[in-house]
Chains A and B, each alone.
Chain A
């Protein structure tokens, strides 16, 4: 299927926010208004991650409104820990669910894949680089594992359909994607990859596709006007993509 360019929208307590290095959240705006704008701009797909506290649970009403509003597919992640929750989310009209914290429970992930289909379940994996090695920290146990090994495990054991890989330090930095890690991953792990973290523009997106990513995701790029942080929900139009020779 075609490559995708994917805005990542962060929800905190029902508001759209943007982070830098996974903290320092800035209020961006209303999620439904933003979704309407991405509709107009004909985004390929949206990733919506709810980073509210797990005690808030999953806001099904809001998700239902988002699903009804969106004229493109949506991936939702945030506080998902059971197949019943996944079923409820999918029934609302959300196309895919993303699992991050619950990746520590591979039995759950595997049963979700069995029940809902490989393409419906996406793993969202954040990592940092320490002494030149990409490491993933388990959010619960705080154990560190080598990113490539972790990915091999989840792909083999749970048959995940796709992985969203986010370099935490590059989040909100406009410093470009961490393509050297992506290349190492692609050499060892057989699973479609969506890259996130650091995207500064269409050249980065083009490089991501050339490096073999099936999707290129971005947060700051699609919610800010410039790195001076004037807010503008935006998305590349077809003439800009043609100029950069980006095909989808």
Chain B
């Protein structure tokens, strides 16, 4: 059973819906006891870094998730903001992230990107090393974000480019996975990725 962590940011119905379509059972919960019993976790999220971390702490999930992820090694998939919260900190705000990835999240506004921000739309994703989530070299996913992980980020498994600027869009570090894009809005490509995660 996959537990989708509900910390009050956005609609996570479509993640559960896509898993249901794949025949994968899941439960949406903010209860750490339920998360303990899950075989895998999904940390979704939309919105700002600080508001995400504050909500996590308010629900007393910070220590619990550290325990489940770092000690019990339960596989966890961070999606969009969820992925960013796994970093150390973000140019977006002041809060400290989980720090599972030794990386800072950076702002597109500090680049001459020639794109409207948030960056929003479909883009092809290139896997840069063998990994468990993305094998299809023609995979494309739907993105909506204003902050990003550097392409040199350790444990980066896939990148995407906007007007020639390449950045990390997925990482894999032991039991910890993160994707910048929204698999639940990327139909068959998203389904393949969630299936791969569910099958681990």
Contacts and interface: CB of A to CB of B under 8 A. Distances in A.
Interface in B108-158: 115-124, 140, 142-144, 146
Interface stretch (A48-56, A70-78, A126-134, A200-208): A70-78
B120 A1 contact: yes
Contacts of A71: 14, 17-18, 184-187, 190-191
A112 to B, nearest CB: 14
Interface residues of B, number: 29
Interface residues of A, number: 28
Interface stretch (A91-99, A135-143, A171-179, A224-232): A91-99
Nearest to A95: B144
A91 B10 contact: yes
B13 A64 contact: yes
A111 interface: no
Interface in B24-81: none
21 contacts: A1-B162, A2-B121, A2-B140, A4-B122, A39-B187, A68-B17, A71-B184, A72-B142, A72-B185, A72-B186, A73-B144, A90-B10, A92-B11, A93-B10, A95-B120, A117-B146, A118-B118, A119-B118, A119-B144, A162-B116, A192-B116
| B122, B140, B162 — most chain A CB neighbours (10 Å) | B122
B173 interface: no
B178 to A, nearest CB: 20
Interface of B: 10-11, 13-14, 17-18, 115-124, 140, 142-144, 146, 162, 184-188, 190-191
A29 interface: no
B47 to A, nearest CB: 9
Interface of A: 1-2, 4, 39, 42, 44, 64, 67-73, 90-93, 95-96, 117-120, 161-162, 192, 248
Given A72-B187, A93-B11, A2 B116 contact: no
A11 to B, nearest CB: 19
B123 A1 contact: yes
B50 to A, nearest CB: 16
Given A1-B143, A73-B142, A73-B185, A120 B118 contact: yes
B120 A119 contact: yes
A117 B118 contact: yes
B122 A68 contact: no
Nearest to B14: A68
A44 B122 contact: yes
